[in-house]
Amino acid sequence: MSSRNAADLPAELLAEIFEWHHTIAAPLSYRRALNLSQVCKTWRKVAISHGALWANKLDVSPSAELSRLVLERAGHHVLDIELRDISPHFARECLGEWFDPLRRLRTRSIDLESFGNSTSPMVAQLIGPSLPMLRSLSVSFETVGDYGSFGDEEEDEVDIHTLSIQHAPALTRVALRNCLMRWDADVYSQLTHLDIGVNIKGLRQFVDPISQCPTHAQMRSLISSLRHIVELKLDIFPLYTAPVEDAEKISVPLSCRRITLRSLPAHTSCCWFAKSLVVPPGAALTIIQVSEGDTARMVREFSRSSQALSVSTTELVGSESLGTVVIGVGEALPLWTQFEPLMDVMEATPGNHITLEFEFLVLNDDQELEEEDITPSCNNMISAISRLDVTELELLRIPGLRYADENESRFRRKHAAFFRVLADAEKVKVLILPFLSMPLLRVLAAPSATTHELLFPQLESVILSLYPLDADSVGLLAKWLKARDSEGLSRVTLHVQIKQKEYADTLALWKVIGEFSTINVYH
């Protein structure tokens, strides 16, 4: 390819091709930048002649020399700014050049990460006030020491600053870490994605709490204006001083598909804010609580009068989640029991629902956690789920309970309050057990310590998986159903997922079970 033909290629394609020719040009080894000495003569000419390449996400922070070179080569092209290593020196010496008045007019995207409490106010002041072409904004203010440090400079935890941006009518995506935009700024109307996280690793100090902490009216006005929103993530809420049953409801636009709220540890404010939301049909509402303080309020408020619940106190692999409660909204039972294929209901949650997640707060990402590190948070979670309102419950799914496969004595002791609550679930008709465990079966097969009767007297169906098969579990299952029959309780229909060979190997036990239940087998 001649240099002339290469020069005629679209800038976007050239940018992708050049991605494969990047080598290290910045002082820090993980930074991406063009090193012109490492590419062939043709591509060197292409790079020099195409300002659009220089304007497209070339991260040269924290090098002042490379910063000026990139801006010079970018010329008057549309800017996609990516600077993810902004030191105090770089902010003072270079950042103003990236956001001079003329460049602000042609900036299409901004992706910034700065370090230190002396850096963040400079960055916040420079982003704005008007960015008429801006489509995407991502800004993260981090504490020095979280990801490295600059020289011997010591920094306190970063405070929450407000970006000076006031006008960005084309903005569609926003992700903010430890910073905010003005609640009344002209930046929200076209957003499809809004993600604000100011308390990811702990509570931060606000520079101006009065203007930065939103009121209920401000949040109502903002969310109502998000006419194109698809995904909304927040961890900042109005500071409610009393329950807000009488507060004006906040209607989430119909375009919204996912809402995630995270509280640390302002669980009360998060709870009242969530209660005020009118979520559109089909939208998923997830509330994440760091498992400290009063996490029971959220569980109690949202489970009231619920017909369907899914309760798990086991962690999700590869995450900081300790457990999850999924609460069906409205007429949930028909949607769950008529799900096709039926066995998918072990994992999928049909219909409108609210997901409450319990999270362990990891302050140091490099820390190797031991069981004793998370025990207080686990105790908090299990205590919270013991406050579930199950009086109207008709369907219960239990994907897994902590300690069931480790220590049965500890399992019973830790979940004793939860099992006492289940004694109130007298209307349960459907029980779903994706992972059948011996300790849980023994609880089901024995009279409740509260009522001295078997749990779930109106039970009609049990949907369970026996992957992998444990013959002892099948025997205990038979014992439970026989006990129900002896108590004169209704006959149960079993929907069992089991491998065909394993079913054949335990056929004698299934014949016994068939005396006390109707069995539907799924291989």
C-alpha 293/C-alpha 291 separation (Å) is 7
Q: What is the pLDDT of residue 25?
A: 39
With a CB cutoff of 8 Å and minimum separation 6, the contacts of 280 are 252, 253, 254, 255, 256
C-alpha 29/C-alpha 153 separation (Å) is 21
With a CB cutoff of 8 Å and minimum separation 6, the contacts of 40 are none
C-alpha 247/C-alpha 286 separation (Å) is 22
- 467 touches 497 (CB < 8 A): yes
Per 3-state DSSP, the chain is made up of helix, strand and coil in percentages (nearest 5) of 35, 20, 45
Pick the closest to residue 80 from 123, 17, 137 (CA basis).
137
Q: Write 281-284 long-range contacts (CB < 8 A, 24+).
A: 281/352, 282/257, 282/352, 283/252, 283/256, 283/257, 283/258, 283/259, 283/352, 284/257, 284/258, 284/259, 284/353, 284/355
- Diameter over CA atoms, the chain: 89
Quick: pLDDT tens for 304-313: 889 999 999 9
C-alpha 61/C-alpha 216 separation (Å) is 39
CA dihedral 174, 175, 180, 183 (to 10 degrees): 30
> Residue 70: what are its φ and ψ, rounded to 5°?
-65, -45
Quick: pLDDT tens for 154-198: 556 889 999 999 999 999 999 999 999 999 999 999 999 999 999
Bridge partners, 137 (sequence order):
110, 174
Q: What is the pLDDT of residue 374?
A: 84
Which DSSP string do the residues of 97-129 spell out, in sequence order? HHTSHHHHHTEEEEEEEEESTTTHHHHHHHS-S
Bridge partners, 79 (sequence order):
107
Q: What single DSSP character describes residue 292?
A: S
Q: What is the pLDDT of residue 450?
A: 87
Q: What is the pLDDT of residue 201?
A: 74
Which residues of the chain register pLDDT less than 50?
1-7, 20-38, 147-153
C-alpha 21/C-alpha 222 separation (Å) is 44
